[in-house]
Amino acid sequence: MSTPLLHVEHLSRQVGDKMIIDQISFAVHTGDLVAVIGPSGAGKSSLLRLINRLDEPTGGTVYLEGQDYRELAPRDLRRRVGMMMQAAHLFPGTVAE
């Protein structure tokens, strides 16, 4: 099988004594459709924030097309990985500014 577009391997995030994400692993290949579902507080947003490096994992890693995402500058990573927030955020100013 080809190299996955996204490969999450043993990803974990601990805050204080609380394990937010515990050893999550999965791969996404070309043509895959993925949904992250679960009850409130299950860690869906936390998982997406880890994938986009808005938060740093305490264990595991993420690979984009076989490359460890820590090798990419956060800005370059975010140009390749899209994320929709739960709430709309409007920034002041215009595109022209």
Q: Report pLDDT digits (tens) over 9-27.
A: 999 999 999 999 999 999 9
- Answer yes or no: are the C-beta atoms of 69 and 11 closer than 8 Å: no
Give the residue ranges of the chain where pLDDT is below 70.
Answer: 1, 84-89, 97
Domain layout of the chain by residue ranges: 6-80
pLDDT at 79: 83
CATH 3.30.70.120 matches 6-80:
no
pLDDT at 92: 79
Average pLDDT, the chain: 89
pLDDT at 77: 84
